[in-house]
Amino acid sequence: TKGDRCTGGVWEPLESYLGNRALPDAESIRIHANAKEWNCFPDNGLVSAYTQCKSDEAEGYLGELI
């Protein structure tokens, strides 16, 4: 693949897309991926491909999950 996200027919790395998004003072966000619910922990409200996420027994980065 050329990237992780397609916007208007142009592939972009997921990191560049997520790197510009901030959450309002959230300590964690919940996502559903790979048939599991994950808690992800933004760094100062910033979500990126390197945001750490944890499930019951597993850990990973947001970029690996979506």
What does the domain layout of the chain look like in residue ranges? Answer: 5-65
For residues 64 and 55, the answer to whether their CB atoms sit within 8 Å is no
CB distance 5 to 12 below 8 Å: yes
Angstrom distance (rounded) from CA 1 to CA 31: 23
Q: Determine the 3-state secondary structure of 12 from DSSP.
A: strand
Please write the tens of the pLDDT for every residue from 37-50: 999 998 887 889 99
Model pLDDT for residues 8-56, shown as the tens digit of each residue: 777 777 666 555 555 555 688 899 998 999 999 988 878 899 999 999 9
pLDDT at residue 59 above 90?
Answer: yes
- Phi/psi for 20 (5° steps) reads -100, 10
pLDDT at position 14 is: 64
pLDDT in the model for residue 1 = 43
Residue 1 to residue 60: CA distance in whole angstroms: 21
Is residue 61 predicted with pLDDT exceeding 90? yes
Tokens encoding 23: 């959450």
